[in-house]
A and B are shown apart, each in its own frame.
Chain A
Amino acid sequence: MERSRRDILKLFGISALALSTGPVLDAFAAEEAEHGAAAEPYVKMGDKALKAQQWAMVVDTRKFKSEEDFTPLIDACHKIHNVPSLPIKRQEIKWIWTAPYHNAFPMSPMKFVNEKLEHTPLLVLCNHCENPPCVRACPTNATFKNPDNGIVMMDFHRCIGCRFCMAACPFGARSFNFRDPRPFINPAEQNKQFPTRTKGVVEKCSFCAERLAVGQLPACVEASDGKLVFGDLYDPESKVRELIKTNYTIRRKQALGTEPSVYYIV
């Protein structure tokens, strides 16, 4: 049989194509089989997780009589979150602490106030503002407002320690780790379920996001024996709304427009 040069070249071309595409097709087929065998993994919220549009807290200042009423709440929080106790005041780390009325409410128009208010400290913490200035200041998005529950969270992995958020927060709710906090956490009281922080990150109250995720209320609320009430600000049936409806409440530095989510009954 007579074969032209052209036919032989065509045959070579087709054979080369077949040889080179074979392995590629095999690889695709193998991948498909792998995917078909097992379902894709996915993530979800826990079944017991508490949900809200905007978590909020009501602090009933009438129920706080003296320093002893505050310490269990502060200790409960600081213990489970591995908050170190640093001896130098300006390096202090705090998630929840007390402040005198004049400092907590410096814009209060009253010249003279009720004696009890004047002399009992107030419990203060991150206000989880609805319009948080710290979030706007953060250059790395390390601090952000969770759109699902309104918590102003910190992603410590992303924090570069610039402290813009500390400058932006009008409530002084943020603390900077000037040094490694580990040596200042009592090893006996360390909570191994919760990470510590590292040198060079900013930290603050997280409304116990890790506890809400498993259906527990924040540690301070649990330890407060009803002095603090926690709930959804946008649920008209919630306990916080009930208290706000039936009592006169104030918020810190309201005029700044950050819309704090912590309400004080005075």
Chain B
Amino acid sequence: MGNKKLVYLGIAIFLVIVTLPFWFNRGKAAPAPELVLTAKAKEAKECVRSKEYMAKDHMRVLDKWRHAVVRNAERIYVNPQGKEYAMSLSNTCLDCHSNKAEFCDRCHNYASVRPYCWDCHIDNPKETK
């Protein structure tokens, strides 16, 4: 046990290396993404559900919509306020939110999720016909 000093030094270096990522990124937490609403989305004021609900549960809403539309041929969604919407990602959601890069992608990138909705559903802008 003559090299006690070396052992402690080794442990210290190990701890520094292991915790290096935390030191390196200290105080630099990625800021929450800022979403840009299109003029159309702003004008509509309210999404099919409340903003908080959509932020948290939009994927569940879409999943239910898909099931209702494809499996049961039910294509109209009536929200708690009694307003009717066509259940269509391509034509209802992406019609207002036609800025994928500034709306969808920002949060998805932040949360590091990679949904493949747009492999099939054509992302807008629809104006450029």
| A43–B120 CB distance below 8 A | no
Of the listed residues B65, B76, B116, the one surrounded by the most CB atoms of chain A closer than 10 A to its CB is B76
| B78–A213 CB distance below 8 A | no
Give the residue name and chain of the B residue nearest to A213 (CB): B75
Nearest-neighbour CB distance to chain A for B42, whole angstroms, equals: 22
Given the known interface contacts A155-B70, A193-B91, the answer about A41 and B121 at a Cβ–Cβ threshold of 8 Å is: no
CB-CB < 8 A to A193: which residues of B?
A: 90-91
Give the residue name and chain of the B residue nearest to A197 (CB): B120
Of the listed residues A43, A144, A213, the one surrounded by the most CB atoms of chain B closer than 10 A to its CB is A43
| A43–B74 CB distance below 8 A | yes
**Residues of A contacting B: mostly:** loop
Interface membership of B119, Cβ < 8 A:
yes
Q: How many residues of A contact B (CB 8 A)?
A: 30
Interface membership of A146, Cβ < 8 A:
yes
CB-CB < 8 A to A192: which residues of B?
A: 90, 122, 124, 126, 129
Of the listed residues A41, A49, A157, A190, the one surrounded by the most CB atoms of chain B closer than 10 A to its CB is A41
| A46–B76 CB distance below 8 A | yes
Given the known interface contacts A43-B68, A157-B66, A195-B121, the answer about A209 and B73 at a Cβ–Cβ threshold of 8 Å is: yes
Interface membership of A216, Cβ < 8 A:
no
Interface membership of A148, Cβ < 8 A:
yes
Contact with A along B88-129 (1 / 0, CB 8 A): 001100000000000000000000000010011110101001
Interface membership of A149, Cβ < 8 A:
yes
CB-CB < 8 A to B116: which residues of A?
A: 198
| Complex partner residue of B73 from A45, A190, A195, A196, CB under 8 angstroms | A45
Contact with B along A149-161 (1 / 0, CB 8 A): 1000101110000
Interface membership of A42, Cβ < 8 A:
yes
Question: How far apart are the CA atoms of A156 and B71 in the complex, in Å?
Answer: 11
| A196–B80 CB distance below 8 A | no
Interface membership of A16, Cβ < 8 A:
no
Interface of B toward A, CB cutoff 8 Å: 49, 64-66, 68, 70-82, 86-87, 90-91, 116, 119-122, 124, 126, 129
